[in-house]
Amino acid sequence: MGLPRAELVASADAPLAHWFCRLCDVAPDGSSTLVAGAGLNGAHRDSPVDPQALVPGEWYRLVIEMHFTGWTFRRGHRIRLAVSNAMWPMLWPVPHLTTTSLRAGGANASRLFLPVVPTDNEDGPAFEPPEARTHPPGVKGSGDSFPAPLSVTRRHGTSIVDWSGEYRTELPWSVQVVKERMSYRIDDAHPEATSVLGETETEIDLGGRRLLWRGRLNVSSDATHFLYRFRRELVEDGRLVRDREWEERIPRDHQ
């Protein structure tokens, strides 16, 4: 119980790389359950406010403190530490193809530290089942949870990840419907040219008055910059009341 920690001894052949650690419980049948995880931008190895490029080929000790967790590994199960260099779309990929190396075994090897709670009870603690979820009086909710399940499509070396969802909330004085859609695109050979498109609608029916907020987000990148675009609209009873657009080109700065 606590914060699992991985100390990786690793190197990269590029000035920027990411490392992700996933602590897993592997059952005797081979099924794997995620227990905790976290990631590190290699440029932030010493300080997130003063990032420094990696020296290609140099070995570093990278400390990755994973999220807080409490878990019991049952007898016969195995502890797995999975290490990867990307977790798209959780974190924007580095702008170049990268190969990394990891030391395992020996005196100067990567390590996994697990905070252990001593117990004489091999069955672990017992908890009461959670209470059924209820809505306040006069409130009803239905629809998808956010984010909804992802769908992945592969086309000529390009991965496209999509999800969409809709949730409806009924209150005594109004009905609110929220719709969201996200689409993530990445090219295996050109990770610098990555993009995300997001669209959202929030419609509120007040009984004789209908308000609609619409938003469209587009974030893309090249080797040196991010390009951020966003448009916001407010529509009342089918009439556009207000709209605004933002656009900014942002240096990647070790991202």
Average of per-residue pLDDT across 131-158: 82
Residue pair 39/91 in contact by the 8 Å Cβ criterion = yes
Residue 88 has pLDDT above 90, yes or no: no
For 47, list phi and psi in degrees, rounded to 5.
-160, 130
Q: What confidence category does residue 42 fall into, taking pLDDT thresholds of 50, 70 and 90?
A: very high
Give the right CATH number for 5-113 from 3.40.50.720, 1.10.260.40, 2.60.120.260, 3.30.70.890.
Answer: 2.60.120.260
- Give the pLDDT confidence score for residue 148 in this predicted structure: 67
Q: How confident is the model at residue 11 (pLDDT cuts 50, 70, 90)?
A: very high
Structure tokens at 30: 């081979």
pLDDT for position 123: 67
Question: What whole-number distance in Å separates Cα of residue 175 and Cα of residue 141?
Answer: 10
Helix runs in the chain, H state only = none
Phi and psi (nearest 5°) for 44? -100, 15
pLDDT of res. 213: 97
Domain ranges of the chain: 5-113, 140-251
139's tokens: 């409130």
pLDDT tier, 134 (very low <50, low <70, confident <90, very high otherwise): confident
> What CA–CA distance (Å, rounded) separates 194 from 187?
7
N residues, the chain: 255
Q: What is the pLDDT of residues 150-209, one digit of tens each?
A: 899 999 999 999 999 999 989 888 999 999 999 999 999 999 999 999 999 999 999 889
State the DSSP code for 43.
G
Lowest mean pLDDT among 2-6, 55-59, 115-119, 155-159: 115-119
pLDDT score of 76? 96
